[in-house]
Amino acid sequence: FLQISTDEVYGQVLDGTFSEDDPLNPRNPYAATKAGADLLANSFQTTHDLPVVITRTSNNFGPRQHPEKLIPKFIQNAAAGEALPVYGDGSNVREWIYVEDNCRALDLVLREGEIGEVYNIGSHAEKTNLEVTEAILDAVGASDDLIEFVEDRAGHDQRYALDTEKIEALGWEPQYSFEEGLERAVDYYLD
């Protein structure tokens, strides 16, 4: 059984990265439910010998993503000349991974991951929300005037970042830079 989780289960980290051995410290309801699912999966392994592997992935992006997510929403808004609502001052940092890289990592963990283990999946491509917004505006050819700073949302962690040495030891590494992935995403959403 592959439990696909999120880096949010660790809470925020202002410096450094989270390893798979760090304690869970979810700080919002979404992250708490994902942490609960991780614990539930582990309990089935312990109680019923269900073979379980858990992945904790950074922010995915790419084609076919739900349109309310930051990157597809901002691409479509920018192309339509509509505002791009950036929470707070845009300084929140996320590690972005292109969807095809994440899928390759999931496949590798399913085939070669050790039962009972957790694998962080990330790209080391850390960007502030404002940097992502500006990259989208540049890729679409839209003006920075479309940026609209809005009140920060409750429970909005400042930064997530993952130590990915464990999955890299299986031979995995991302194939797409943030910029390459963004170019593909823009092409998809504007086609």
Active-site residue list: 7-8, 30
Nearest-angstrom CA–CA distance, 125 and 144? 22
Nearest-angstrom CA–CA distance, 36 and 24? 10
- Give the residue among 126, 147, 149, 122 at the shortest CA–CA distance from 136: 147
Nearest-angstrom CA–CA distance, 85 and 191? 23
Nearest-angstrom CA–CA distance, 74 and 68? 9
Contact 129, 87 (CB under 8 A): yes
CA distances for 25 relative to 6, 28, 35, angstroms:
12, 9, 8
Nearest-angstrom CA–CA distance, 125 and 175? 12
Nearest-angstrom CA–CA distance, 138 and 13? 29
Give the DSSP H or E segment for 166. Answer: helix 165-168
